[in-house]
Amino acid sequence: MASPEPVLTPRTGRVRAARRLATRRFRDRERAFLAEGPQAVREALGVEPTVVREVFATADATQRHPELVRAAGSRWSVVDADVVAALTDTVSPQGMVAVCDALDVPLAVALSTAPRLVAVCADVRDPGNAGAVLRCADAAGADVVVFAGDSVDPYNPKAVRASVGSLFHPHIVCDRDTVAVLAAVRGAGLQVLAADGGGEDLVDLDDAGALAGPTAWLFGNEAWGLPDDLRARADAVVGVPIYGRAESLNLATAAAVCLYASARAQRRGAAAGRGDLGGGGGS
């Protein structure tokens, strides 16, 4: 007769090991992190090769998401709500948490894919902002997101939640040497545009066609922006025009505007190129 499945509790070894991933030291050591909620778990299960080690889910979440159960297979464990609660820091847990392999790759690997749109976060400290920028970059079609300098860990639980699954889409890079990051992206053929108030008008650059080429956008710290030495290493410092009375835009909003401006310009340029090719067929 087969042995019954062990009952998992917050004190069970597997659960306790997963709980430790709330701390960066253990995430770094285990090269793993936690992804909470059905959207994050869905995106994690869609990564090939798989990055999901195990999913802990309540019976209710299991019943509501049979497609995720099928995708996870033997990696899916049904647990009581107190187990899921122990693995999250939210007031109202979403019923499931996945233990995932770390996703970040060396910068050279990410740049070897010939990216056309890159977001570089320099000393971005707030995990909610980091996750929101990652989500904006993914939505705009960015190929790479770099967390440079003293930026927050992108696997921080709050950052993972704020990314709403986007963490699993672009190449993620973590590199403490921001100067080396900027040199590498420029060496890969991308222009570096620093998003900072008081720079060239984003709309003017767009009108001039300056956003159509491969671009790495550099975003600074939420409180003090970019230091002078990083601004000086950019090809241009670009500001988002403020037409109303707001003093400024927050980091994620500014990032969304800048990244979408580049995405639009690049797609417009690509469409024009296809039109030129098509128009020459009768000669």
**pLDDT tens-digit map of 130-141:** 999 999 999 999
> Is residue 201 domain-resident?
yes
Sole residue written with tokens 């994050």:
40
| Total domain count, the chain | 2
**Residue 3, pLDDT score:** 39
pLDDT band for position 6 (50/70/90)?
low
- Residue 20: alpha-carbon gap to chain centroid: 22
Quick check: 122 pLDDT over 50?
yes
pLDDT score, position 63: 97
- Residue ending a domain, choose from 53, 78, 101: 101
Report the candidate in 189, 182, 116, 117 with the shortest Cα–Cα distance to residue 149. 182
**Distance in Å from the first CA to the final CA of the chain:** 79
- Per-residue confidence at 275, pLDDT binned at 50, 70, 90? low
Express as a percent the part of the chain with pLDDT over 70.
94
Q: Is the model's pLDDT at 277 over the cut of 50?
A: no
**Is residue 282 one of the residues assigned to a domain?**
no
- Backbone phi, then psi, for 19, in 5-degree steps? -60, -35
Report, as an integer, the average pLDDT of 271-278. Answer: 64
**Which whole number is the average pLDDT over 221-241?**
94
Determine the Cα–Cα distance for residues 186 and 197; give it in Å rounded to an integer: 22
Claim to verify: residue 114 and residue 198 sit in the same structural domain: yes
- Which residue range forms the structural domain that includes residue 66? 13-101
Both tokens assigned to 236? 């241009």
* pTM for this model (two decimals): 0.91
pLDDT at 117 over 90: yes
Mean pLDDT, rounded, of the chain: 93
Three-state SS string over the chain comes to: CCCCCCCCCCCCHHHHHHHHHHCHHHHHHHCEEEEECHHHHHHHHCCCCCCEEEEEECHHHHHHCHHHHHHHHHHEEECCHHHHHHCCCCCCCCCEEEEEECCCCCHHHHHCCCCCEEEEEECCCCHHHHHHHHHHHHHCCCCEEEEECCCCCCCCHHHHHHHCCHHHCCEEEEECCHHHHHHHHHHCCCEEEEEEEEEEEHHHHHHCCCCCCCEEEEECECCCECCHHHHHCCCEEEECCCCCCCCCCCHHHHHHHHHHHHHHHHHHHHHHHHHHHHHCCCC
Give CA–CA dist 104/211, Å, rounded: 27
Model pLDDT, residue 15 = 96
Q: Does residue 148 form part of some domain?
A: yes
> Do both 60 and 146 map to the same domain?
no
Q: Check whether 282 has a pLDDT greater than 90.
A: no
Give residue 4's pLDDT. Answer: 44
With tokens 């030291």, the residue in question is 25
Q: How sure is the predictor about 121, in pLDDT bands with cuts at 50, 70 and 90?
A: very high
Higher pLDDT: 275 or 180? It is 180
Q: Which of 37, 71, 101 finishes a domain?
A: 101
Give the other-Cβ count within 10 Å of 230's Cβ: 23
Q: Domain end: 101, 119, 143, which one?
A: 101
Q: Are 233 and 150 part of one and the same domain? A: yes
- Radius of gyration of the chain measured on its C-alpha atoms: 21
Q: Which CATH number fits the domain that encloses residue 54?
A: 3.30.1330.30
Pairing mode, if any, of strands 191-201 and 144-148?
unpaired
pLDDT at residue 276 in the model: 54
Write out pLDDT tens, residues 50-103.
999 999 999 999 999 999 999 999 999 999 999 999 999 888 889 999 999 999
Note whether 49 and 174 are same-domain residues. Answer: no
In the prediction, which pLDDT does 89 show? 86
What was the pLDDT predicted at 270?
Answer: 80
Summarize the confidence of residues 232-259 as an average pLDDT: 94
